[in-house]
Amino acid sequence: MEKLDLIYFKFISNLSNNLENSTRDAGEEIPDLTPLVNYFLGYGGALLTGLMGLLTLFFIFNVVKIRIRISKCSADGDYEGRSQALREIIWQIVGALCCFFAGVGAGILTGIFMSK
């Protein structure tokens, strides 16, 4: 048992010595990547905000188009088509809200990273 403890102790001490030597011998400073990261996250967030805005407008356009279809179905007495259109309009509204809030979140993060 003592021999196993001695081997384990030597192994751990060698690991700690190697870790100390590798950090001490490097002598190089790690380059500061903060400006580069802020640049990519800032402009990437701005791009994402724009894309989410366009996608939100697309969903709103579809909502208006489906609303016109609901009016036609109601006038014709097509209740099955009307119920199908109502299901579609609900999913379009959910998609528009998700894209809108994702765009708002991306816009907030863009503001944070662009201000640095």
97 φ, ψ (degrees, to nearest 5): -65, -40
Q: Where are the domains of the chain?
A: 52-116
Q: What is the DSSP-derived secondary structure letter of residue 77?
A: T
pLDDT given for residue 22 in this prediction: 54
- In the chain, the amino acid numbered 93 is I
Mean pLDDT, residues 75-101 taken together:
93
pLDDT of 93 > 60? The answer is: yes
For the stretch 1-47, pLDDT in tens is 566 566 666 666 666 666 555 555 455 676 777 888 888 888 888 89
Q: What is the pTM of this model?
A: 0.64
Where is 9: in which H helix or E strand?
helix 2-26
User: Residue 88's closest CA among 116, 115, 67?
Assistant: 67
Query: Residue 90 is which amino acid?
Result: I
pLDDT (average), residues 84-113: 92
Say what the pLDDT of residue 2 is: 62
Summarised one tens digit per residue, pLDDT across range 41-62 is 888 888 999 999 999 999 999 9
**How remote is the C-alpha of 36 from its chain's centroid?**
19
Residue carrying the six token digits 């009016």: 71
